[in-house]
C-alpha cells in the first residue's frame, strides 16, 4: 500500500478551524472568527502557502514574531503568537485573519499537533535510540506497509518542531504512522510522547550521544527510557534484549513486550550473521522457530538488529513475520548510512550522515570485515559532536581503532589531531585537517583503495564523498 513521502506533499491535509486551534492551544482569539479554516500549518515564512496558519516560534538565534508581516503578505489566514510585533496595529488587521494569543508558541504547536493526531485517529509507532533510529524507522514503515496504509516522518523531522509538522502532514487515509523521535536535552522525550501518544515504541539502544545535554550514559538511558514510560499502557514495547540495563529497566513497566536481538532469549533473534560486500545474511528465529537464512541489503550486524526490531513491530501490529519479510529484504540503505559504492578508482563506504562512538565502532568493524582483499584501506573521519567533557577520550578511542583497521587515516575538525595522533600510535599513517576545505585541497588517494567516510553531519564529509565519486 506504500509509504507516503515528505512533509511538503501532505502539509495541506491539516484543515483546522480557528475554533479547534483556540481550544487545543488554550489560546485567546484576538482577531478573526472561530469559523476560519486553515489549509496547513507552517513555522517558516519561506515555505508558507496562502491559507495556512503561521506559528511564530522563538529560538536562541531567531524570533518568528519578526516575520509576522511577511507571513500575512504571503497569504497566511491565521497566526499563533505570544506577543504583537513592533509596529503591528490590530485594528488594521483584516477580520479574515485569525490571531490566537498564547503564552508559549512552541508548546501551542505541540498541543495543536496532539489534538490533530487524535482527530486523525491513526495508530502510532515511535522509534528512538542512540543509533539506527532513521534506518529502523524506514524498515518499520516498509514492514507495516505490507498490510497497512503507512506514513513516516521524513528526514530529520523528529524534534519538538519537526514531530508536530509531521503529524499535521498525515493524510486522512493513513492507518499507521511511524515516527522517529530525537532528543538532546532532558524533558524533550516526555514532551514528544505527550504530543504523539504512541501505541507501540522501539528503543534501538543506548550509547554515548548528546552527552552535552544529557550528562552521561545513565542520563541518556534515563531520558530515552521515557519513551517506554510514555507509551500507552495497553501498548507494546519493543525492547533490545542485547542491552541488559535497558531490558531490566523495562521489566518494571506494565506493558506487553517483544524482545529482539542476538541474545538467546530474544523473541525475534538472529544467529550466524555474515557481512558480505553486497549485504548481510543471517539465520532468523522467531519465538524459537527457524525461518531459515535471510538477507538484507545493509552492511553490518547492527543493521540486522534494526531489521529484527522492524519485524517485531510487525508482530506488535498483528502481521506474521513471513508477510513482513519481502518488504524488509527489498529495502536499501539511505544515503550516508554505510552505503557501498564503486567507482572506476575506488570502493567507497559512505557513512557520512552522522557519528557517535557506537556508530563509529560499528562502521570500522564492517569496513574491516568487507575490505580484506584491498591493498590499501583509507579511513576519513570527522568530529563526533555533542560529547561534552568526554569528547577527547572518545576521539582518541576512535583514532586508535581507525589506526588498527586502516593503512591511511585522514581526520577533520576540532579533534583532528587527537584522532590522527592516536591512529599513528596504532600503526597507520595519519593526517589532521581543520576543515573539509583544507582536506579537499590536498586529498590524493591512490587508485584501487577502499575508503570509509564517517563523521557528524555538521562536519560536511558528504563533500568528500562527492569528490571521490567524481575522480
> Would you tell me the crossing angle of helices 357-370 and 391-405 to the nearest 10 degrees?
0
Which residues, in sequence order, are CB contacts of 3 under 8 Å at separation 6+?
A: 141, 142, 145, 150, 151, 152
The DSSP output letter for 80 is: E
Can you say which residues are annotated as belonging to the binding site for ATP? 129-135
Cell numbers placing 209: 550521544
Q: Are strands 256-261 and 268-276 parallel, antiparallel or unpaired?
A: parallel
Q: What is the rounded distance in angstroms from the CA atom of residue 145 to the CA atom of residue 175?
A: 10
Which residues, in sequence order, are CB contacts of 94 under 8 Å at separation 6+?
A: none
Is there a contact between 384 and 355 (Cβ–Cβ < 8 Å)? yes
Q: Are strands 347-351 and 339-342 parallel, antiparallel or unpaired?
A: antiparallel
Cell numbers placing 466: 562527492
- Torsion sign, CA atoms 130, 131, 134, 140: negative
The DSSP output letter for 64 is: G
Is there a contact between 100 and 18 (Cβ–Cβ < 8 Å)? yes
Can you say which residues are annotated as belonging to the binding site? 129-135
What's the CA angle centered on 136, arms 215 and 220, to 5 degrees? 10
Is there a contact between 161 and 240 (Cβ–Cβ < 8 Å)? no
Q: What is the rounded distance in angstroms from the CA atom of residue 428 to the CA atom of residue 426?
A: 6
Radius of gyration of the chain (CA): 24
Cell numbers placing 135: 534506518
What's the CA angle centered on 122, arms 120 and 123, to 5 degrees? 150
Residue 156: count other Cβ atoms within 10 Å of its Cβ.
14
Amino acid at each position: 500500500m506504500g509509504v507516503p513521502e515528505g512533509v511538503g506533499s501532505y502539509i495541506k491535509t491539516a484543515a483546522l478551524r480557528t475554533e479547534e486551534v483556540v481550544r487545543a492551544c488554550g489560546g485567546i482569539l484576538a482577531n478573526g472568527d472561530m469559523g476560519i479554516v486553515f489549509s496547513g500549518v507552517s513555522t517558516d515564512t519561506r515555505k508558507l502557502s496562502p491559507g495556512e496558519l503561521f506559528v511564530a516560534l522563538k529560538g536562541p538565534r531567531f524570533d518568528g514574531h519578526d516575520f509576522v508581516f511577511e507571513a500575512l503578505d504571503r497569504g497566511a489566514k491565521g497566526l499563533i503568537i505570544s506577543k504583537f510585533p513592533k509596529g503591528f496595529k490590530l485594528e488594521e488587521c483584516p477580520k479574515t485573519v485569525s490571531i490566537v494569543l498564547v503564552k508559549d508558541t512552541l508548546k501551542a504547536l505541540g498541543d495543536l499537533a496532539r489534538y490533530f493526531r487524535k482527530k486523525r485517529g491513526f495508530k502510532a509507532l515511535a522509534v528512538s535510540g542512540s543509533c539506527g533510529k532513521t534506518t529502523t524507522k524506514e524498515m518499520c514503515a516498509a514492514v507495516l506497509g505490507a498490510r497497512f496504509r503507512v506514513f513516516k516522518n521524513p528526514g530529520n523531522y523528529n524534534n519538538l518542531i519537526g514531530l508536530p509538522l509531521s503529524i499535521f502532514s498525515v493524510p486522512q487515509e493513513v492507518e499507521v504512522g511511524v515516527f522517529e523521535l530525537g532528543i538532546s536535552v532532558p524533558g524533550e522525550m516526555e514532551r514528544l510522547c505527550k504530543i504523539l501518544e504512541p501505541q507501540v515504541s522501539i528503543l534501538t539502544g543506548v550509547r554515548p550521544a548528546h552527552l552535552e545535554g544529557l550528562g552521561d550514559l545513565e542520563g541518556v538511558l534515563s531520558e530515552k527510557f521515557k519513551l517506554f514510560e510514555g507509551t500507552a499502557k495497553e501498548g507494546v514495547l519493543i525492547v533490545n534484549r542485547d542491552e541488559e540495563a535497558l531490558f531490566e529497566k523495562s521489566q518494571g513497566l506494565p506493558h506487553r513486550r517483544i524482545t529482539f536481538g542476538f541474545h538467546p532469549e530474544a523473541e525475534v533473534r538472529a544467529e550466524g550473521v555474515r557481512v558480505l560486500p553486497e549485504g548481510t545474511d543471517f539465520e532468523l528465529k522467531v519465538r524459537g522457530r527457524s525461518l531459515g537464512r535471510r538477507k538484507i541489503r545493509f552492511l553490518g550486524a547492527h543493521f540486522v538488529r534494526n531489521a529484527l526490531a522492524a519485524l517485531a513491530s510487525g508482530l506488535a501490529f498483528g502481521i506474521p513475520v513471513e508477510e513482513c519479510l519481502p518488504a524488509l529484504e527489498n529495502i536499501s540503505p539511505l544515503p550516508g548510512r554505510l552505503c557501498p559504492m564503486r567507482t572506476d578508482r575506488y570502493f567507497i563506504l559512505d557513512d557520512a550522515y552522522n557519528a557517535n562512538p557506537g556508530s563509529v565502532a560499528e562502521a570500522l568493524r564492517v569496513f574491516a570485515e568487507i575490505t580484506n582483499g584491498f591493498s590499501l584501506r583509507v579511513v576519513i573521519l570527522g568530529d563526533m559532536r555533542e560529547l561534552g567533557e568526554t569528547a577527547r577520550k572518545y576521539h582518541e578511542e576512535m583514532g586508535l581503532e581507525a589506526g588498527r583497521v586502516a593503512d591511511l587515516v585522514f581526520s577533520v575538525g576540532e579533534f583532528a589531531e587527537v584522532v590522527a595522533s592516536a591512529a599513528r600510535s596504532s600503526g597507520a599513517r595519519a593526517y589532521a585537517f581543520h576543515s573539509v576545505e583544507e582536506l579537499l585541497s590536498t586529498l590524493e588517494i591512490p587508485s584501487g583503495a577502499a575508503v570509509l567516510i564517517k563523521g557528524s553531519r555538521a562536519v560536511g564529509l558528504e563533500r568528500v564523498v562527492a569528490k571521490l565519486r567524481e575522480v
